[in-house]
């Protein structure tokens, strides 16, 4: 039997599954954990509500009757490939921008967090023009400014009660070695700023039926040393500061696995050596080498491939790889002497001392 659009709408809106009743209680469909469904269904409902409720209806109807196999596979695939709400930091250029564009092309809702408001807003405008079916939005915060991170996170959680993916992509390469107390600024931005953001967004991530936190590191983490964390190091070079921060990304991911509920997984990745604006405004031998070799590097789209893969792949393919390091879309073993559970726990504990004043809770 084929229902008309109007009748189907009535059937769908009347459907209440036990699992989602608190969200679907006739008012706030947008906060339902299944609010990710891609807005493919024709109709007048705002914000993809028709698609959201139809997705929940299909899943409830067939799973509750144990008839999921009876649903035509091609249609099942269409229904179950649902839209996700994805927040990407540093999405106004380079790998972050390419990641946003590639995921927007798949129909996902893209949220950006950028240091420069005008550049972030322009990114959102360009995404809207290129992909009219999505509703991206930009938020602004400098990851070295914890008050700004806290404010932006509060705005995001209030407006988006469900977030399915957090891609901590923003990179930082210092034009000069600077310290805030005993914290080098690259470590503060790339590690502590992202750790704070992640903690503050956990309420929205936890409302997703299957959330992922994806941290963008680098193969240069191999040159990092945890012995330089949280102390002033005389003669610290730009490359050492960057490598230390990328090592911290790896350890943060490892530590995060011990503090997340089962519905949230986390991964860390090396994007490859990518042709971006990285180190353009810096000096020193490392920056010079980067600029000379840049024409031979990967494109931003190629560099975004692993981020996009981890955000979009079926969880069944990576569920056993929680906390793992990926390169070229594959889990890759790490042999750095500092990549241990003990060192990850040490980093977590010390990092929390800096972040506690900005959190309502003292641990996750």
Phi and psi angles of residue 276, each rounded to the nearest 5 degrees, phi first: -130, -170
161 is a domain residue: yes
Do 181 and 324 have their domain in common? yes
Question: Nearest CA to 262 among 182, 220, 206, 324?
Answer: 206
pLDDT score at 278? 55
pLDDT score at 71? 43
Instruction: Give the H/E segment covering residue 312.
Output: helix 305-312
Q: Please, what's the b/e burial string for 304-321 (b: 16 or more CB within 10 A of its CB; e: otherwise)?
A: bbbbbbbbbeeeeebeee
pLDDT score at 42? 36
Q: How far apart are CA 331 and CA 76, in angstroms?
A: 29
pLDDT score at 154? 98
Question: With contact defined as beta carbons under 8 Å apart, do 170 and 189 qualify?
Answer: yes
pLDDT score at 281? 53
Question: With contact defined as beta carbons under 8 Å apart, do 55 and 71 qualify?
Answer: no
Could you give the number of structural domains in the chain? 2
Do 13 and 152 have their domain in common? no
pLDDT score at 360? 74
Phi-psi region of 52 (alpha: psi -120 to 50; beta: other; left: phi over 0): alpha
**Domain span holding position 255:** 85-358
pLDDT score at 307? 98
pLDDT score at 173? 75
Q: What is the pLDDT along the chain (364 residues), one digit of tens a residue?
A: 444 445 444 444 444 333 344 433 333 444 444 443 333 333 333 334 444 445 555 545 544 555 444 444 434 444 445 799 999 999 999 999 999 999 999 999 999 999 999 999 999 999 999 999 899 999 999 999 999 999 999 999 999 999 999 999 998 877 789 999 999 999 999 999 999 999 999 999 999 999 999 999 999 999 999 999 999 999 999 889 999 999 999 999 999 999 999 999 999 999 987 655 554 555 555 556 656 655 656 888 999 999 999 999 999 999 999 999 999 999 999 999 999 999 999 999 999 999 999 997 544 4
147 is a domain residue: yes
pLDDT score at 226? 97
Do 53 and 123 have their domain in common? no
Could you give the residue numbers annotated as active site? 242
CATH classification at residue 276: 3.40.50.720
Q: How far apart are CA 282 and CA 155, in angstroms?
A: 33
pLDDT score at 194? 98
Do 234 and 282 have their domain in common? yes
265 is a domain residue: yes
pLDDT score at 174? 73
Q: How far apart are CA 330 and CA 309, in angstroms?
A: 10
Do 184 and 294 have their domain in common? yes
Strand pairing partners for 221? none
Q: How far apart are CA 117 and CA 138, in angstroms?
A: 8
């Amino acid at each position: 039997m084929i229902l008309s659009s109007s009748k189907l709408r009535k059937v769908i809106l009347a459907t209440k599954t036990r699992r989602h009743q608190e969200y679907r209680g006739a008012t706030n469909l947008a906060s339902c954990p299944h609010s990710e469904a891609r807005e493919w269904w024709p109709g007048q409902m705002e914000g993809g509500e028709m698609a959201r409720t139809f997705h929940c209806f299909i899943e409830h109807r067939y799973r509750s009757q144990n008839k999921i196999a009876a649903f035509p596979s091609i249609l099942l695939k269409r229904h179950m490939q649902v839209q996700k709400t994805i927040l990407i930091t540093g999405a106004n250029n380079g790998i972050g921008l390419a990641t946003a564009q590639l995921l927007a092309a798949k129909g996902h809702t893209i949220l950006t967090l950028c240091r420069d408001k005008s550049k972030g807003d322009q990114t959102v405008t360009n995404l809207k023009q290129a992909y009219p079916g999505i509703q991206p939005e930009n938020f602004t915060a400098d990851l070295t400014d914890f008050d700004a991170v806290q404010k932006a996170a509060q705005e995001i959680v209030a407006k988006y009660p469900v977030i399915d993916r957090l891609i901590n992509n923003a990179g930082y390469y210092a034009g000069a070695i600077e310290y805030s107390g005993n914290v080098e600024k690259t470590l503060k931005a790339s590690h502590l700023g992202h750790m704070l953001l992640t903690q503050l967004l956990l309420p929205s991530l936890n409302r997703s039926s299957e959330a992922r936190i994806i941290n963008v590191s680098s193969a240069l983490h191999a040159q990092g040393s945890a012995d330089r964390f949280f102390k002033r190091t005389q003669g610290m070079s730009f490359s050492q500061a960057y490598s230390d921060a990328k090592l911290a990304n790896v350890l943060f991911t490892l530590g995060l696995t011990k503090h997340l509920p089962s519905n949230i997984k986390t991964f860390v990745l090396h994007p490859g050596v990518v042709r971006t604006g990285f180190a353009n405004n810096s000096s020193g031998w490392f920056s010079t080498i980067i600029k000379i070799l840049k024409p031979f590097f990967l494109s931003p789209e190629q560099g975004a491939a692993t981020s996009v893969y981890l955000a979009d792949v079926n969880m069944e393919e990576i569920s056993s790889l929680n906390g793992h390091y990926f390169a070229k879309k594959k889990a890759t073993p790490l042999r750095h002497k500092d990549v241990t559970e003990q060192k990850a726990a040490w980093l977590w504990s010390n990092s929390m001392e800096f972040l506690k004043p900005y959190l309502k809770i003292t641990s996750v």
